[in-house]
Amino acid sequence: MVRHIAAFVGLALLAGGEAVSQGDKAFGPDKDGLIAIEAEHHTGKADKDPHKWVAVKEPAGFSGDGAMEAKPNDDANNNEDFVTLSPRLDYKVKFAKAGKYRVWVRGWGKGESDNSCHVGLEGKAVDSADRMGEWPAEEWAWLNDTHDGEPAVLEVKAAGTLTLNVWMREDGFVIDKILLTQDEKYQPKDKGPAEVRE
Ligand SMILES: [Ca+2]
Ligand SMILES: [Ca+2]
């Protein structure tokens, strides 16, 4: 009984405070070197009127405490100038090693005009990780593709803590989780590995 009450209070805190209990601790690699990040556990966020990333508890089947949706879904597509035009999510990430990291994103595309986003580092666009898409419609899926036809990649010049950014491209896109790996052959399945905060 006591345990049930504790669980209920915990959930209430999460619902009201967007999982602030995690603080701004950096995301780090697990024992296999995989860096998993729940999108709803952002360590920073910037709205860009009229759009903003909003915490959602749907569609069902998300990992962690929910997901983030770019709202309102009004047919916007910020393919260019997204650093200026688009709402942003920030994640403090501790990279243990320098080098190339593949970027995987677990997302949900409602339709063909709601299934893309941009990823960058330190508040700047990165040519090799922007314009990620297209997520399939109406299902949770891990994707590493970009509109350039190459897998999304970030180059980390030196080990250390950096801020990973996600910007809206098409509104209505729902982002559940991010995974960074130096293993080119790794492919996340289902909900992917658990995040590690340090
Ligand atoms: Ca849309
Ligand atoms: Ca999630």
Residue ranges making up the domain that contains 42 = 22-197
> From ligand 2's centre to the CA of 149, what distance in Å?
26
Q: Please tell me what DSSP assigns to residue 107.
A: E
Query: How many structural domains compose the chain?
Result: 1
Question: Tokens at residue 29, please?
Answer: 């690699």
SS (H, E, C) 125-155: ECCCCCCEECCCECCEEEECEECCCCECEEE
Neighbours of 41 (CB within 10 A): 24
* Residue 87 lies inside a defined structural domain of this protein: yes
* Residue 97 lies inside a defined structural domain of this protein: yes
* Residue 116 lies inside a defined structural domain of this protein: yes
* Residue 7 lies inside a defined structural domain of this protein: no
> From ligand 2's centre to the CA of 68, what distance in Å?
8
> Alpha-carbon Rg of the chain, whole angstroms?
16
* Residue 26 lies inside a defined structural domain of this protein: yes
One digit per residue, the tens of pLDDT, for the chain of length 198 reads 455 544 444 444 444 444 445 678 999 999 999 999 999 999 999 999 999 999 999 999 999 999 999 999 999 999 999 999 999 999 999 999 999 999 999 999 999 999 999 999 999 999 999 999 999 999 999 999 999 999 999 999 999 999 999 999 999 999 999 999 999 999 999 999 999 998
* Residue 2 lies inside a defined structural domain of this protein: no
- For residue 30, give the CATH number of its domain: 2.60.120.1620
* Residue 15 lies inside a defined structural domain of this protein: no
Of the listed ligands, the closest to the CA of 68 is 2
